[in-house]
Structure 1
Amino acid sequence: MQFSDERIKLLPFQNSDFECFLEIITCPQMMKHVYDPLTYDEAKSSFEKRLPPWELDSDKWRSFSISEIINGGKLGFISIRIVNHEAKIAEVGFMIKASAQGKGIGRKALKLIKQYAFDTLMLNKLVAYCSVDNAGSSGLLEKEGFIRENRLKQNTLINHQYRDDYAYGLSKPAL
């Protein structure tokens, strides 16, 4: 299974994606709005839980590498996990390498995962969370049609400080 546009492709995580995942998830600068950076062992465990197989009735993350079509360079990852099977609601999260940020990669990946969620998985709604201080992520979500539904006070503990998060939602487009 692969999703692509003219510039990027999304592929389910493979062992070869670990180095990119590790680079992002252990980097204090990259993680400053998400949670404390993981250790190598924590990153390895988290990555292995995201490897296929994945089933529609699963509650674990389904993660996809984001790669450039032209040179195959790994740019980050985007993940989806169903949080309410009955209501068909899934959470989406993404991390783009610092060197690839600001180039439209996240937006293209989010467009592809929305299409997968609504057209293939037949989900009803996507939700996403980001730090109120993460203007890049909140701006990206809003450009892609997500609506800010709530501000969650002291929702995340990062570096021994509680941080507020925004909760976003995007319902399946009406036919």
Structure 2
Amino acid sequence: MLRLLTPRFTLSSFQESDWPFFLELRQNNAVMRYMAGIASEEDIRRVFGQRLLENNAFVIRLHVDETPLGDVGLRISKVNPAEADVGYSILPPAQGQGIASEALKAVCEYAFYQANVEALNAWVLAANAGSVRVLEKARFSRVQTLEKSFLLNDKYYDDWAFRLTKEDFARADG
């Protein structure tokens, strides 16, 4: 099991015992509000099964408590392994406490210095101000706007693409 440590959190690979948490997270309207519609339990189970197989998807927990607070993941491109997408979600009671920012920094460090990734991409709806702040704080740059391109719950949203290179991360972290 892969584990990443931050000053406050342990990020650990998904285990079968994380299923109740993952289901809760993916059925939470506040979490899914800017991600996707609430899927069936069967479809959520299928996504969870993929998380179990990936070494780059993590549950976020406080060092002193085993209670899951969120998840963060890295999906390395099969076509171009020097590129990866990142994503994260945090349970509503834990939002606004810097959890996503701290976890994302750890995943960036892992991606750039252990997984040999050269660039990270993230997609976020323009309306998701909290997630935009997390990416900007992590020094991701907005590189593209897809106007009214993402349909969610019968409404079209602008979709923003963000990018962070290893070089920019090293410069900001140095």
Whether these two folds match at TM > 0.5 is yes
Aligned counterpart, 1:113 = 107
Instruction: Say yes or no: does 1:94 pair with 2:95.
Output: no
RMSD: 1.6
- Partner of 2:61: helix, strand, or coil? strand
How do 1:4-153 and structure 2 match up within 5 A? 4-52=5-53, 54=55, 62-83=56-77, 85-86=79-80, 88-153=82-147
Higher helix share goes to which structure?
2
The answer for the alignment partner of 1:158 in structure 2 is: 152
Moved more, 13-22 or 143-152: 13-22
- Contact kept, 8 Å, 1:12 with 1:52, in 2: the verdict is no
Stretches of structure 2 that go unaligned for 5 or more consecutive residues are none
Aligned equivalents of 2:9 and 2:158: distance in 1? 32
Provide TM-score, normalisation by structure 2.
0.90
**In 1, Cα distance between the equivalents of 2:94 and 2:31?**
12
Question: Any unmatched runs of 5+ in structure 1?
Answer: 55-61
Mean CA deviation greater in 118-127 or 38-47:
38-47
